């Protein structure tokens, strides 16, 4: 059987917020089984909390933002991608402000911290969203769709009119090992020409060459260059894994993305959740094997 997981001990990550430019500190803490992933604002009276799920997403411009009428939690996607890759189901994430630390612009600070916290199994079985029929969402020439698949596979294409980016594609089975090797250190990126406009909107105030790949009209400005020749699509894939966890549980399916940013990912997650005839909520009788068939699935569908 495949059981839910949390962490054994509390760990912290600190730095600055990419968009706020102010100090940011978070603590990961264990949570009981069947809790889910919760963000908690320690700096606000009453310690208000929000679950990381689609219905609590309030903005998708330049980052995924959770929020209520009273408070917001910004730039959660890198943290969520590390949680998804490590298959952590239950977690409290305490913040002392409105934004998570950006680290070096990748998910690596979160991924390493959670590994240090020691991941442990719990008593309840993990639930999955098992795609049974194609699910499609689009906005203009941008789209995302899901196909039935025995596992969690992601195909991602980006296309930017810049000579250092152009059209890039990556496809991989999503798990702890592929995430660590292929995606965890891929950094966020932006264009120098957009910086002033973003800052006027109160965005990218903490951005620098230390936490983002920055491009001018022709080249990458970072002195050390890129970590991968296709670092841009790797980062977009990493972002998508975090946004997909807003479904509320892991997905079993092949997710195909074309030029899909946070806005498209949010729309796709909402479409998936509403397509109740195209998925089942299941549990697994044994750890997933990509060489086996669906006979290994122990199905317990909430939809009969």
Are 89 and 134 in the same domain?
A: no
Q: How far apart are CA 266 and CA 232, in angstroms?
A: 20
Are 147 and 221 in the same domain?
A: yes
Q: What is the pLDDT of residues 173-227, one digit of tens each?
A: 999 999 999 999 999 999 999 987 888 887 788 889 999 999 999 999 999 999 9
Q: How far apart are CA 278 and CA 120, in angstroms?
A: 32
- Tally Cβ neighbours within 10 Å of residue 107: 32
Give the end of a domain, one of 69, 90, 124: 124
Are 157 and 106 in the same domain?
A: no
Return the ∠ at Cα 82 (arms to 300 and 215), rounded to 5°: 135
Query: Has residue 285 got a pLDDT over 90?
Result: no
215 Cβ contact partners less than 8 Å away, ≥ 6 residues apart: 162, 164, 165, 189, 190, 191, 192, 221
Query: Has residue 297 got a pLDDT over 70?
Result: no
Dmax (CA) of the chain: 57
Q: How far apart are CA 71 and CA 132, in angstroms?
A: 37
Are 294 and 170 in the same domain?
A: yes
pTM for the whole structure: 0.92
* Number of domains making up the chain: 2
Q: What is the CATH number of the domain that holds 205?
A: 3.30.1700.10
Does 230 map to a domain? yes
Are 269 and 176 in the same domain?
A: yes
Does 288 map to a domain? yes
Does 304 map to a domain? no
Alpha-carbon dihedral 99, 105, 106, 110, rounded to 10 degrees: -40
Are 116 and 144 in the same domain?
A: no
Give the end of a domain, one of 98, 124, 150: 124
Which residues does the annotation mark as catalytic?
262
Are 97 and 109 in contact by the 8 Å Cβ rule? The answer is: no
* Closest C-alpha to 156, from 225, 246, 231, 233: 233
Are 53 and 153 in the same domain?
A: no
Are 135 and 117 in the same domain?
A: no
Does 265 map to a domain? yes
Q: What is the DSSP letter of 220?
A: B
Crossing angle of helices 108-116/77-85, nearest 10°? Answer: 50
Are 181 and 291 in the same domain?
A: yes
Query: Taking all residues of the chain, what is their mean pLDDT, rounded to a whole number?
Result: 93
Give 204's Cβ-side CA count (13 Å radius): 22
Quick one: pLDDT at residue 129? 98
Q: What is the DSSP letter of 223?
A: T
Give 201's Cβ-side CA count (13 Å radius): 10
Are 196 and 285 in the same domain?
A: yes
Q: What is the CATH number of the domain that holds 53?
A: 3.30.230.20
Are 87 and 132 in the same domain?
A: no
* Closest C-alpha to 13, from 122, 97, 125: 97
Are 144 and 293 in the same domain?
A: yes
Give the end of a domain, one of 76, 103, 124: 124
Reported as a pLDDT band with limits 50, 70 and 90, residue 286 is confident
Q: Alpha helices, DSSP H only, in 195-299?
A: 195-200, 231-244, 262-274
Quick one: pLDDT at residue 235? 98
Q: How far apart are CA 44 and CA 21, in angstroms?
A: 20
Helix, strand or coil, per DSSP, at residue 184? coil
Does 303 map to a domain? no
Q: What is the pLDDT of residues 264-275, one digit of tens each?
A: 999 999 999 999
Q: What is the pLDDT of residues 93-138, one digit of tens each?
A: 999 999 999 999 999 999 999 999 999 999 999 999 999 999 999 9
Domain around 11? 3-124
Quick one: pLDDT at residue 161? 96
């Amino acid at each position: 059987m495949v059981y839910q997981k949390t962490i054994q001990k509390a760990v912290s990550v600190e730095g600055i917020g990419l968009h706020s430019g102010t100090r940011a500190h978070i603590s990961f803490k264990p949570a009981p089984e069947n809790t889910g992933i919760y963000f908690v604002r320690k700096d606000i009276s009453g310690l208000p909390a929000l679950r990381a799920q689609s219905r609590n997403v309030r903005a998708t411009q330049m980052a995924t933002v959770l929020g209520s009428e009273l408070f917001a939690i910004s730039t959660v996607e890198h943290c969520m991608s590390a949680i998804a890759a490590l298959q952590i189901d239950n977690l409290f994430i305490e913040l002392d402000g409105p934004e998570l630390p950006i680290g070096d612009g990748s998910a690596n600070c979160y991924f390493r911290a959670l590994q240090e916290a020691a991941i442990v199994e719990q008593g309840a079985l993990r639930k999955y969203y098992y795609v049974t029929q194609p699910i499609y969402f689009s906005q203009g020439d941008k789209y995302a769709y899901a196909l039935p698949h025995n596992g969690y596979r992601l195909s991602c294409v980006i296309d930017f009119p810049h000579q250092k980016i152009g059209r890039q594609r990556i496809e991989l089975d999503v798990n702890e090992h592929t995430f660590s090797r292929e995606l965890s250190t891929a950094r966020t990126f932006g264009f120098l020409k957009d910086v002033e406009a973003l800052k006027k909107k109160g965005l990218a105030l903490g951005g620098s060459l230390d936490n983002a790949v920055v491009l001018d009209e022709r080249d990458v400005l970072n002195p050390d260059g890129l970590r991968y020749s296709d670092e841009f699509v790797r980062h977009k894939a990493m972002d998508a894994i975090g946004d997909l966890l807003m479904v509320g549980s892991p997905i079993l399916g092949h997710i195909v993305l074309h030029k899909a940013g946070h806005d498209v990912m949010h729309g796709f997650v909402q479409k998936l959740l509403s397509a109740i005839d195209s998925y089942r909520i299941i549990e697994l009788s044994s750890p997933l094997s990509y060489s086996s068939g669906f006979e290994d699935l122990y199905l317990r569908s909430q939809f009969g």
